[in-house]
Amino acid sequence: MLPAMFNLSGKVALITGGSKGLGKAMARGLAEAGADIVISSRHEDELKSALAEILKGTERKGAYLVADMSKRTEVGKLAAFALEKMGKVDILINNAGTNVPEAIDVITDAEWDRIMEINLNSVMALTRALVPQMKARKWGRVIHISSIMAFVSNNGRNIYSATKAALVGMARASALDLGPFGVTVNCIAPGPFLTDLPASVLSKEEQDRFGKMTALGRWGDPKELVGTSLLMASDAGSYITGSTFVVDGGFIAR
């Protein structure tokens, strides 16, 4: 049984990019802690099966919505859907993101704008839409999923590093805006977790190299991000705001 400070019974969590990888793992962890769950992604088949896995054995409620975070209108629809379906959103995890490696001198305007919209602008828009009802209840948790690429980088990660560093700065500013209303805003900066995104952009050689560069000598399992997200989402993290938690197996320590 969870300690009371980690118990999320009666809370509702919205996790973008929640159909797989880190988003799915965090959603499952929050459901196990007692939260009702809303997830979104671009693919309904993935969402349907993921939600069933997330809720299995928890007796929690859940819902999903197909939403393309590169389209501002769909971000607004997601916020409205979650509020209508669940009545409130207590915990927002802005996890949706993408990455297309391009060197600085070959970045196209179209690719820059698309990734900026998904990784940064949608986070602003969804947070903006959901924090008023958190403020009204004097309780809320906003968690942006940044990356160690906010602090270190790699060839061709110009857009990705820029957006992930921006989330760190935005969390600090939003923490000041929302602190008086009992709403905390933090970032989690994951390191090498071998989910679909890094697997799609890193060669096998790069994957092996990244794993060996951590202090633990391996990639992380998505379940190893659950503890940090639960701390940030619960009363256990009530005095933590404007912070960024690096969860990287000691990658930066090198």
**Any idea of the CA torsion for 73, 158, 162, 217, to the nearest 10 degrees?**
110
Query: Which residues pair with residue 38 across a beta bridge?
Result: 14, 63
Q: Is residue 252 part of a domain?
A: no
Position 239 confidence tier, pLDDT thresholds 50, 70, 90 = very high
Q: Is residue 74 part of a domain?
A: yes
Average pLDDT over residues 47-69: 98
Q: Is residue 162 part of a domain?
A: yes
Position 206 confidence tier, pLDDT thresholds 50, 70, 90 = confident
pLDDT of residue 1: 74
- In terms of DSSP H, where are the helices of the chain? 21-32, 44-55, 72-86, 109-116, 122-137, 158-178, 196-201, 204-212, 226-233
Percent of the chain with pLDDT strictly greater than 70 = 100
Q: Is residue 253 part of a domain?
A: no
The two tokens of residue 142 are 């906003």
Give the domain CATH number at 25. Answer: 3.40.50.720
pLDDT of residue 146: 98
Q: Is residue 184 part of a domain?
A: yes
Q: Is residue 3 part of a domain?
A: no
Compare 90 and 101 and report the one with higher pLDDT. Answer: 90
Q: Of 61, 232, 238, 74, which Cα lies nearest the Cα of 143?
A: 232
Q: Is residue 144 part of a domain?
A: yes
Q: Is the pTM of this model over 0.75?
A: yes
Range of the domain at 207: 8-247
pLDDT of residue 236: 98
Q: Edge-to-edge strands of the sheet including 244-247? A: 62-66, 36-41, 12-16, 91-94, 140-145, 183-190, 244-247
Cβ contact 142:131 at 8 Å: yes
Please identify every residue annotated as catalytic: 160
**What distance in Å separates the CA atoms of residue 28 and residue 31, rounded to the nearest whole number?**
5
Number of domains in the chain: 1
Position 169 confidence tier, pLDDT thresholds 50, 70, 90 = very high
pLDDT digit string, tens, across residues 32-44: 999 999 999 999 9
Q: Is residue 2 part of a domain?
A: no
Position 200 confidence tier, pLDDT thresholds 50, 70, 90 = confident
CA distances from 202 to 104, 214, 219 (A): 18, 16, 13
